[in-house]
Amino acid sequence: MLDPIALRQKMAIPPSLKDAYLRIVAAGMKVMFSDKTRGLMQQQLEASPDMVKNLSDGIAGLMAILYKQSKGMPKQLIIPAALELLAHAIELVTKTKIASLTPEQIGQAIQATVNAVLAKFGMSPEQAQAALQQMAGKNGTPAQAAPRGIIQGAA
């Protein structure tokens, strides 16, 4: 399973952006789990038999809503926040037995979420990688050229 807290600890979020990152995740969690919007999340999870698609489309839509409602969300935090919110959604899906996800499906959900978020924001994978590398460089560490750059050690 994808542990949201362990994932957060592996993120190379610069100290100057840490508060913004935590606010984005908190806002996303509020939308995902509040009494007013919980039904929408349930609908999204049951939208099709393809749980990977349901998760990735749902998180991409959530990030678009959060970005629209924010007052200047740093774009370089969109993917990392989306991945942590995905981890929380996967945790919900597996703990409540809505679905059972294999490690392969979790990997597919991560990739599909990144692709869906990039498409929602009109970014190419190359633009996203450049932003992530720039952020890693501002963090005082060399820019990580790994394909998923923002997560330390991810390949």
Where is pLDDT greater, at 136 or 125? Answer: 125
Confidence at 56, pLDDT banded by 50, 70, 90: very high
Residue (of 118, 138, 119, 125) closest to 78 by Cα position: 118
Q: Are 11 and 150 in contact (CB under 8 A)?
A: yes
52 burial (CB, 10 Å; 0-12 / 13-18 / 19+) is buried
The model's pTM: 0.80
Residue 143 lies in a domain: no
Report pLDDT for 138. 52
Is position 151 within any domain? no
Does residue 146 lie within any of the structural domains?
no
Q: How many domains does the chain have?
A: 1
Domain range enclosing 74: 4-138
